[in-house]
């Protein structure tokens, strides 16, 4: 779904690289892969550098209108692909890098990654020892490279999603997308709930929708009325074991992160929209 929306935003003059991940399987092998665009399967850690290479080749050939997109999982981004990604970002390569984040190594059987949130069950963080560290903040890492554009998106907000990809298409330089992608088996949710869970992540401010331009200018795109994180957590089997204290801990963490983000928005824009105030007080 996310891929479809991305390509809707980008059009069909696109080439992509996909490292080892679930999408390797979804797409399948040449010459029968599922996407109509030219596509290269790469080694697990090399999505960003391979995309940079294709970009360089296209530039040499003068095909500058073709957009190059790397499409990688959270494992391939937050963990093993991070050095290649950081290098590409530092060089401000003219590519779009998308991480669809299902918060674990799903393809190989739900092992934790540095994108797995605090408290979550995975096969390597069983209920007895659930994930003890907070999720790595990949957006801040990318912003720290002062790249022209970084944004979050989810399938539950398709208009916002497509708008951001259209916008990114016309920006030159490194563009980064962090997409929250619910995974029914990995999150222990029924498959028909994927969109609802993604929406709830946004509504509870666990996954805010925002953009960072030039690494500094922060814009929040959606101001949720605010619901307790419990509503989001309890939809998913991977959080069922959490105690009230743990949930309260997560709530405080989320509230704190949101306040920071709102503050950055205010710093950027000089003021807050009307609907902002309610989001700071209500849960």
Ligand X SMILES: Cc1ncc(C[n+]2csc(CCOP(=O)(O)OP(=O)(O)O)c2C)c(N)n1
Residue 187 contacts residue 129 (beta carbons within 8 Å): no
- Taking residues 58 to 87 in sequence order and writing x for each that binds ligand X by CB under 6 A, - otherwise, the string is ---------------xxxx-----------
190 binds other proteins (CB under 8 A): yes
Pairing mode, strands 210-213 and 149-154: antiparallel
Q: What is the full DSSP assignment across 103-133?
A: SSBTTTT-B--TTSPTT---SSS-TTS---S
158 binds other proteins (CB under 8 A): yes
Q: Residue 151, SS3?
A: strand
- Cβ-based nearer residue to Mg ion, 105 or 258: 105
Given candidates 46, 102, 116, 251, which one binds ligand X under the rule CB under 6 A? 102
182 binds ligand X (CB under 6 A): no
Residue 13 contacts residue 66 (beta carbons within 8 Å): yes
E strands of the chain, at which residues? 14-18, 39-41, 67-73, 96-101, 149-154, 175-180, 210-213, 217-220
Q: How far apart are CA 156 and CA 142, in angstroms?
A: 23
Q: Considering CB distances under 5 to 8 angstroms, the limit depending on partner class, which of ligand X, other proteins, Mg ion, none binds residue 241? A: none
Given candidates 74, 103, 203, 211, which one binds other proteins under the rule CB under 8 A? 203
Q: How far apart are CA 258 and CA 279, in angstroms?
A: 9
- Taking residues 22 to 61 in sequence order and writing x for each that binds Mg ion by CB under 5 A, - otherwise, the string is ----------------------------------------
| Residue 3 burial (10 A CB sphere; 0-12, 13-18, 19+) | buried
188 binds other proteins (CB under 8 A): no
74 binds Mg ion (CB under 5 A): yes
Residue 192 contacts residue 180 (beta carbons within 8 Å): no
Q: Considering CB distances under 5 to 8 angstroms, the limit depending on partner class, which of Mg ion, ligand X, other proteins, none binds residue 236? A: none
Instruction: Give the residue ranges of DSSP H helices in 204-243.
Output: 229-233
Question: Which range, of 53-61, 98-106, 129-137, 160-168, touches ligand X by CB under 6 A?
Answer: 98-106
Residue 231 contacts residue 202 (beta carbons within 8 Å): no
194 binds ligand X (CB under 6 A): no
Given candidates 10, 39, 168, 179, which one binds other proteins under the rule CB under 8 A? 39
# binding residues, Mg ion (CB under 5 A): 4
- Cβ-based nearer residue to Mg ion, 73 or 208: 73
Residue 25 contacts residue 93 (beta carbons within 8 Å): no
Residue 218 contacts residue 259 (beta carbons within 8 Å): no
Given candidates 106, 150, 200, 209, which one binds ligand X under the rule CB under 6 A? 106
Tokens representing residue 277 in the block:
């105030």
Task: Give residues 204-263 in contact with ligand X (rule: CB under 6 A).
Answer: none
- Count how many Cα atoms sit within 13 Å of the Cα of residue 131 in the half-sphere of its side chain: 23
Residues that bind Mg ion (CB under 5 A): 73-74, 102, 106
Residues that bind other proteins (CB under 8 A): 1, 15, 28, 30-36, 38-41, 61, 63, 155, 158, 190-196, 199, 203
Residues that bind ligand X (CB under 6 A): 20-22, 44-45, 73-76, 102, 105-108, 113
């Amino acid at each position: 779904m996310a891929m479809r929306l991305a390509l809707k935003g980008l059009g069909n003059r696109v080439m992509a690289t996909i490292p080892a991940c679930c999408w390797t399987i979804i797409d399948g092998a040449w010459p029968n892969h599922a996407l109509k665009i030219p596509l290269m399967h790469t080694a697990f850690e090399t999505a960003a550098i391979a995309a940079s290479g294709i970009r360089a080749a296209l530039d040499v050939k003068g095909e500058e209108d073709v957009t190059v997109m790397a499409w990688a999982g959270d494992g391939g981004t937050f963990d093993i692909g991070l050095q290649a990604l950081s290098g590409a970002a530092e060089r401000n390569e003219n590519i779009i890098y998308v991480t669809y984040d299902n918060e674990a190594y799903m393809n190989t059987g739900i092992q934790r990654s540095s994108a797995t949130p605090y408290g979550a069950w995975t096969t390597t963080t069983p209920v007895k020892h659930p994930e003890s560290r907070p999720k790595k903040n990949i957006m801040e890492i990318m912003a720290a490279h002062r790249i022209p554009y970084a944004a979050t998106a989810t399938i539950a907000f398709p208009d916002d999603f497509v708008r951001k990809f259209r916008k990114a298409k016309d920006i030159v330089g490194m563009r980064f997308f962090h997409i929250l992608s619910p995974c029914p088996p990995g999150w222990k949710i029924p498959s028909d709930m994927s969109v609802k869970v993604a929406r709830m992540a946004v509504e509870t401010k666990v996954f805010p929708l925002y953009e960072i331009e030039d690494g500094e200018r922060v814009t929040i795109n959606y101001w949720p009325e605010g619901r307790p994180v419990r509503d989001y957590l309890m939809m998913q089997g991977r959080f069922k074991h959490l105690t009230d204290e743990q949930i309260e801990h997560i709530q405080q963490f989320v509230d704190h992160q949101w306040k920071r983000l709102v503050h950055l928005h205010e710093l950027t824009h000089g003021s807050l929209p009307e609907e902002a105030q309610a989001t700071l007080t209500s849960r």
